[in-house]
Structure 1
Amino acid sequence: MSQMEPFLRNDQFNFIKEHVWKFAHAHATVKDADVIHALKYSAFDQIINTFYSMNEEQEELLKKILYVEDSSQAEQILTELKAYVISFPAVTAERIKKLFPKVKKLTMPPLEEKNLRNISYLGWNDVRSERKYIITTDQRRLTGVFGTFRSSPGKGICTICNKHEETGLFMAVVKAGKETYTSRGNYICQDSSRCNQNITDIRQLETFMYHLKK
């Protein structure tokens, strides 16, 4: 097979990973082969439906997950698929400053520690100022938003990844009219790295960003 271009988003990879581990678990706990077969092909249809288009070579690669029967095989196929995850656009400190021109004392994220294949968005906290910064991409164009962030006691459901995690209330001041402003936001993960590992549907992130800016 010739080397393909990356074609998986981070959220799609996470969605696939979630199902691949379910396959391995099913083989260890379910004796009925027909049940396992139905589980796998139902999941595969769900995975395929997350793509707008797919060529034959890409589909053949993804079909390999249907042969997963144990944790070793799960690890192997996930390692292979990881090479086809599209990296988040490279971001420099200078570019970040341009995305947040109104912030005078901007705390930078640890860019050198980020594996850009592992994120759907770039998010980081400034604990001192109780702020959170979020950078997303739309057609490779970067967009930044920041707001106050106050941690919640206990765990809650994150609006972005829809998982039960340590969350906090993110609120951004956005323009509501020519000369009027309003605060909008919701509860999201405190740990953006954890959120990026959890997210399995990019539309939730897109909806969150849309409501901040509409």
Structure 2
Amino acid sequence: MNTKAFIRCDQYNFIKHQVKNLVSSYSIVKDPAVLKAVAFRSLDKVMNLFPEDEYDKAIFDKIPEIDGEIQANFFLEELKPYVIPFRSVSEKTIEKLFPKAKKLKLPKMEEIDLKETSYLGWYDIRSERKYLVFDYNGKLIGINGTFRNTTKGICSLCNSLEEVALFMANVKSGKETYTNRGNYICSDSQKCNQNIKTLDKLNQFIELVKR
């Protein structure tokens, strides 16, 4: 029987976060009633991510039973087949998204887990630019920009405290005028993807810098 994927990568990260918090509660809380309340609150938060007719409730019924890392890891592995992977992207497609980039160094797609990817991001040391690929409203969008001023701060994509740098894209703002737009984003795009628990900030960033 085929498994129907219905969980976005960011939703999977949110579920993972809830499960880890639940496991952590068992190390600091001893009251069974409190632990039960925490477990069912986590379950409610997860189920509220999806319309009721979009999934089989039994998929998440194991959450209140999780009380340790082994159970948590087993549950998350069982959930992985339901995760929608980022669209498979060929080198030719990436080159079409960035037609002006010459001798573009591409990411090693075989090293990327597409089920842990909400966007593709890599730094090209030759051009000293950061390249981003988003699947936005069913369409692939490629955005590149300068990437400087590394510091510790809040990433505008994943909303987490990480090592970030200022990404600035040159965006067309009129018939013959351009303006620089951007914000601080994670230096490590893989870690950034693992931190994304909602697409809200990511979509706001796309709206800010898309062409």
Q: TM-score, normalised by structure 2?
A: 0.94
Alignment equivalent of 2:145, drawn from 134, 144, 147:
147
1:113 aligned partner: 111
Cα deviations by residue, 1:51-96 (Å, 9 ceiling, x for unpaired) = 3x24375322022212101111001100101111111111011000
Asked whether the 8 Å contact 2:6–2:55 carries over to 1, the reply is no
2:173 aligned partner: 176
Asked whether the 8 Å contact 1:157–1:164 carries over to 2, the reply is yes
Asked whether the 8 Å contact 1:166–1:190 carries over to 2, the reply is yes
Asked whether the 8 Å contact 2:3–2:81 carries over to 1, the reply is no
2:10 aligned partner: 11
Q: Distance in 1 between matches of 2:19 and 2:31?
A: 18
CA RMSD of aligned residues (A): 1.6
Asked whether the 8 Å contact 2:7–2:82 carries over to 1, the reply is yes
Asked whether the 8 Å contact 1:87–1:117 carries over to 2, the reply is yes
Q: Report the count of equivalent residues.
A: 211
Q: Distance in 1 between matches of 2:189 and 2:113?
A: 13
1:22 aligned partner: 21
Q: Distance in 2 between matches of 1:136 and 1:198?
A: 16
* Shift, 1:100, TM fit: 0.7
* Shift, 1:38, TM fit: 2.1
Unaligned runs of 5+ in 2: none
Alpha carbons of structure 1 residues 46 and 57: separation in structure 2 relative to 1, 3 Å: closer
Percent identical: 46
Q: Distance in 1 between matches of 2:45 and 2:145?
A: 35
Alignment equivalent of 1:201, drawn from 173, 178, 198:
198
Q: Distance in 2 between matches of 1:58 and 1:124?
A: 36
**Is the deviation greater in 125-134 or in 158-167?**
125-134
1:40 aligned partner: 39
Secondary structure in 2 matching 1:63: coil
* Shift, 1:139, TM fit: 4.0
Unaligned runs of 5+ in 1: none
Q: TM-score, normalised by structure 1?
A: 0.92
User: Are 2:182 and 1:163 equivalent residues in the alignment?
Assistant: no
Q: Distance in 2 between matches of 1:45 and 1:188?
A: 31
